[in-house]
Amino acid sequence: MILLPIVYLSLLLFILLQTSTLAVDPTQGFTRLPLSNSNFAVQKPYDVPQDQRYSFKNGVHKFWVYSTDKPHTPTSNTAPRTEIRVTGYDYTSGVWQFEGYGYVPSGSSGVCIMQVLGGTSSATTLQLRVYDGSLTYYRSPVLLQNTYNRWFRVNVIHDVGASTVKVYIDGVLKYQGNGRGDATHYFKFGVYEQNDSSSYMESRWKDIKIFRK
């Protein structure tokens, strides 16, 4: 008779494990905000023309940078980057969401491809990086393996009041953790060199959307 509850518990655990990997729509309950190219400010190495590090064709933003490039301003001490900084939607409260489809070609490594800027314990609340084909939250944990040469949907939800961050990949919750303190926050995407980087880094993005509650 004792075996029956154990069987039921095992079955319930199996069901929970299976359903936890089902895709959902993270944007349900959110309001989509107007967004146009006027909200996209390109940051690139200060000493090269924009079209040598960024292109926008057929709805696809393409970013690339070299490890030998200059920072985005002459006075910056940061690593090379080519990114879009989303303008017009800086926030200090509320629940905000970034959505986009990312693509990283093989060979690009040691690079941040999306950020939530602002924090008290660090300059950022979140970074999504790529190391040897794996998408990671900062350096770890791994959120998605084998990301090279394919499109994947990214949804990042930042609840400022609750100080939480969630990351969905292709509609599946891959990370949930704490925020990094109050600040003025905003979204960025593109390529920003990190540790152990490849000499050339590239990412592509399309269908960018911003939501809030």
pLDDT digits (tens, 9 = 90+) for 19-30: 357 899 999 999
pLDDT score recorded for residue 153: 98
pLDDT score recorded for residue 21: 72
Give the separation between CA 61 and CA 205, rounded to whole angstroms: 5
Query: CATH fold of 26-212, please?
Result: Jelly Rolls (2.60.120)
Give the separation between CA 78 and CA 69, rounded to whole angstroms: 11
For the chain, what are the domain ranges?
A: 26-212
Q: What is the DSSP string of 177-212?
A: EE---SS-BEEEEEEEE-TT--SEEEEEEEEEEEEE
The pTM of the full predicted model, rounded to 2 decimals, is: 0.89
Nearest Cα neighbor of 138 from 102, 106, 112 is 112
* Buried-state track 124-153, b at ≥16 Cβ within 10 A, e below 16: bbbbbbbbebbbbbeeeeebbeebbeeebb
